[in-house]
Amino acid sequence: MTAAAVARRHALDDPWLDQLADRIWSKPEFSMVPIDVDEVPRAPYNGPPLDEHGPRVVFFGIPSDYGTAFLLHLIERRANLVAAVCSARWQRTHPKPDLIARIAGHLGRPVEVTADANAQAFVRCLKAYEPEVVVMASFDQILKAETLAVPKRGWLNIHPSLLPRHRGPEPIYWTIANGDRKGGISVHLTVPRIDAGPILAQRRVAVSADDTAGTLARRLVAEGLPALDETLAALETGAAQPIRTRGDSESYEPPVRQTGLDWDQPFQQIERLVRAGQPDQPPFFTHRGRRRFVYGIRRVRPRAGESLGVTASRLPDETLAVVQDAVVALRWRPVGHTHAVRPLARQQFP
Q: Is the pLDDT reported for residue 345 higher than 70?
A: no
Domains contained in the chain, CATH given: 3-249 (3.40.50.170), 267-333 (3.10.25.10)
The pLDDT value given to residue 66 = 97
Q: Is the pLDDT reported for residue 264 higher than 70?
A: yes
User: What does the alpha-carbon distance between residue 17 and residue 106 come to, in Å, rounded to a whole number?
Assistant: 9
When mean pLDDT is compared across 76-80, 95-99, 190-194, 203-207, the lowest value belongs to 95-99
Q: Is the pLDDT reported for residue 93 higher than 50?
A: no
User: What does the alpha-carbon distance between residue 283 and residue 281 come to, in Å, rounded to a whole number?
Assistant: 6
Please check whether residue 32 is in contact with residue 65, taking contact to mean a CB–CB distance below 8 angstroms: yes
Q: What angle do CA 40, 42, 46 make, to 5 degrees?
A: 110
The pLDDT value given to residue 98 = 86
CA distances from 52 to 100, 127, 130, 164, 259 (A): 20, 18, 13, 35, 48
Percentage, residues of the chain above pLDDT 70: 89
Q: Give residue-wise pLDDT tens across range 213-259.
A: 999 999 999 999 999 999 999 999 999 888 876 666 789 998 888 89
What residues contact residue 156 under an 8 Å CB cut-off, 6+ apart? 133, 134, 135, 136, 187, 188, 189, 190, 200, 228, 231
Amino acid (one-letter) located at 214: G
pLDDT interval class at 315 (50, 70, 90): confident
CA distances from 305 to 236, 261, 325, 326 (A): 65, 20, 9, 10
The pLDDT value given to residue 4 = 45
Output the average pLDDT for the chain. 90
Give this prediction's pTM: 0.92
pLDDT interval class at 342 (50, 70, 90): very low
Question: Strand, coil or helix: what is 206?
Answer: strand
Mean pLDDT (whole number) for 298-323: 93
Q: Give residue-wise pLDDT tens across range 107-165.
A: 999 999 998 999 999 999 999 999 999 999 989 889 999 999 999 999 999 999 999 99
Mean pLDDT (whole number) for 178-182: 97
Q: Is the pLDDT reported for residue 168 higher than 80?
A: yes
Question: Strand, coil or helix: what is 218?
Answer: helix
Q: Is the pLDDT reported for residue 9 higher than 90?
A: no
Greatest alpha-carbon pair distance for the chain in Å reads 71
CA distances from 298 to 210, 274, 304 (A): 11, 10, 17
Q: Is the pLDDT reported for residue 95 higher than 90?
A: no
Q: Give residue-wise pLDDT tens across range 55-73.
A: 999 999 999 999 999 999 9
Q: Is the pLDDT reported for residue 320 higher than 70?
A: yes
Q: Is the pLDDT reported for residue 195 higher than 70?
A: yes
Q: Is the pLDDT reported for residue 77 higher than 80?
A: yes
Question: Strands (DSSP E) along the chain, which ranges?
Answer: 56-61, 80-87, 111-114, 133-137, 154-159, 182-189, 199-206, 284-287, 290-302, 309-315, 318-322, 326-333
pLDDT interval class at 338 (50, 70, 90): low
